[in-house]
Amino acid sequence: MKNKSPQTLLLLFVFVCFIEGCSKNNKIPLVVRQQSIPQLNNATLPKPDHIVIVIEENHAYEQIVGTDSAPYINYLINEPYTVTFPNSYGITHPSQPNYLDLYSGSNQNVITDSISANVPFTTPNLGRQLIDASKSFGTYSQSLPYISYSGNNYGSYARKHNPAANWIGTRTNEIPSTTDLPFTSFPSDFTQLPTVSFVIPNLNCDMHDGSIKNGDAWLANNLNKYVQWARTHNSLFILTFDEDNEKHNNHILTLFYGSMIRNGRDSISINHYNVLRTIESIYGLPYAGNAANVKTISNCWK
């Protein structure tokens, strides 16, 4: 070992600690080592076979990045296949409008966490756009009792965090009930995933009612197999938060992970509309709602 540089020894130490921490739930020393991505022009967007988006709850960037409460997320941040966006922001408070913004580019005039009297909506949305383009979409919600359950809550499942549920139907721009699935339906054969999936942890595992540590562990236990698979199978993992804790100007963590990523920190300012527009741009879809008024995230791709 005496011939190895201090930097190499440090990276080996962090990696070993991560592996031990996953099996023993120990705290993991965190070393956030990302570099800023230089700005480039005319980037070519990739075409991932699958995108999985996980939305966490009610925590600011400052509460997650560099903290020992979220060892798995910080492990991902330090991976060479990850870009983070240190200028990523939620759009509003409370939760539900942010989910609607991410899915449809609009809060659909919903400003609370209650079910709107106008559902199901018939406005443009990501799921319908994908289906119309001969691609596929699905939501996998933890604790959803059965396919297309339409109630407001069931145990620790909260409909307010499941935006596509507001478009279930057969009218214009609505999507089939078979797209609204329990997380138990998330396939172990990841080639069977829809083109784009939303994964919605329940209130105990999305950091809303449970702790940061619980939410981080749920991610590691339930999504890491997909994350590692995505890196070698032309697929993308997106992690974001709906909003902050109302103490940091709605500053939230957003990261992209995959082999098509240029590792580092992308300093551009983004919100949920930019993430939606980027997915739409990747697959050549129309822009829904306010996604038409923002820029595609284009600098982080190889």
Interaxial angle between packed helices 272-282 and 95-104, expressed in degrees from 0 to 180 and rounded to the nearest 10: 20
Question: In the predicted model, is pLDDT for residue 41 greater than 80?
Answer: no
Confidence of residue 37 (pLDDT cuts 50, 70, 90): confident
Contact 265, 36 (CB under 8 A): yes
Kindly report which listed range (8-17, 176-185, 212-221, 269-278) carries the lowest average pLDDT score.
8-17
Of 38, 77, 40, give the one whose Cα is nearest residue 61.
Answer: 77
Contact 275, 105 (CB under 8 A): no
Contact 17, 9 (CB under 8 A): no
Please give the residue that has the higher pLDDT: either 299 or 14: 299
Residue 18 lies in a domain: no
pLDDT of residue 42: 55
Residue 7 lies in a domain: no
Question: In the predicted model, is pLDDT for residue 4 greater than 70?
Answer: no
Question: For the residues 234-248, what does the mean pLDDT come to?
Answer: 98
With vertex at residue 102, the alpha carbon angle to CA 97 and CA 106, rounded to the nearest 5 degrees, is: 55
Please give the residue that has the higher pLDDT: either 33 or 192: 192
Kindly report which listed range (33-42, 69-78, 168-177, 271-280) carries the lowest average pLDDT score.
33-42
Residue 288 lies in a domain: yes
Q: How many domains does the chain have?
A: 1
Residue 86 lies in a domain: yes
Contact 76, 238 (CB under 8 A): no
With vertex at residue 221, the alpha carbon angle to CA 64 and CA 253, rounded to the nearest 5 degrees, is: 20
Q: What is the pLDDT of residues 81-108, one digit of tens each?
A: 999 999 999 999 999 999 999 999 999 9
CA distances (Å), origin 199, targets 26, 29, 43, 118, 237: 26, 28, 28, 24, 11
Q: What is the pLDDT of residues 172-187, one digit of tens each?
A: 999 999 999 999 999 9
Q: What is the pLDDT of residues 52-62, one digit of tens each?
A: 999 999 999 99
pLDDT of residue 30: 60
Contact 114, 299 (CB under 8 A): no
Residue 2 lies in a domain: no
* Nearest-angstrom CA–CA distance, 129 and 228: 28
pLDDT of residue 40: 57
Residue 80 lies in a domain: yes
Tokens 């595992």: give the residue: 205
Please give the residue that has the higher pLDDT: either 247 or 5: 247
The CB-side HSE value for 255 (13 A sphere, CA atoms) comes to 26
Question: For the residues 280-299, what does the mean pLDDT come to?
Answer: 98
CATH number at residue 95: 3.40.720.10
Residue 76 lies in a domain: yes
Whether pTM exceeds 0.85: yes
* Nearest-angstrom CA–CA distance, 62 and 93: 18
* Residues of the domain holding 224: 32-293
